[in-house]
Amino acid sequence: GDEWVRVLPTRVVVPTTQAMHSFGAALAAELRAGDIVLATGDLGAGKTTLAQGIGLGLGVEDPVISPTFVLARRHAGADGRPGLVHVDAYRLGSAAELVDLDLDETMDQAVTLIEWGAGIAEDLAGSHLDIDIRRSGDPADETRVVYLEGFGPRWRDVDLSPLSVLPLD
């Protein structure tokens, strides 16, 4: 069908919190209004930290904090860049509840990042960028490994692999 997936996801090593902010900002340069990013990774993996970096890259001025209790926050971008719709789907049971948040119109004009979105939000749009953030087994090691995988026509010709060789600190 129309489904498309890069065979080898882009893999990015992100050593620190600051590096995750830099990575998110660099990724934001590749993102457009209407894009949907589904972030996965266990609690504390760095999904919200990634959202902060994307916010930096879009010129968001208000603090990007976890939308755990409000489910979604909308942030304006700056200088013609798209805004950021930041969703926490952890408490959502279904895509229908996401649709009930009535974000459609905002999402057209923004980059939408959905924490815990995998398994719920794939059907929101024909295309989505999946970002999986993994920690190493050693709790003393702050390094995260980030896997980026685009699904659908939006990502067919997008090469995100340059992100894996960026100097991040």
* Binding footprint of Mg ion on the chain (CB under 5 A): 47-48, 66, 115
Shortest distance in whole angstroms from residue 10 CB to ligand ADP: 16
**Who's near 103: CB < 8 A, 6+ residues apart?**
72, 74, 85, 87, 112
Shortest distance in whole angstroms from residue 106 CB to Mg ion: 20
Q: Which is nearer to Mg ion, 127 or 148 (CB)?
A: 148
| Single-letter code of the amino acid located at 124 | L
CA-angle at 169, arms to 72 and 145, nearest 5°: 60
Pairing relationship of beta strands 144-151 and 10-14 according to DSSP bridges:
antiparallel
Out of 16, 106, 109, 161, name the contact with ligand ADP by CB under 6 A.
Answer: 16
Six-digit token pair at 121? 């939000």
The answer to whether residue 86 forms part of the interface with ligand ADP (CB under 6 A) is no
Residues that bind ligand ADP (CB under 6 A): 14-17, 19-20, 41, 43-49, 66, 115, 142-144
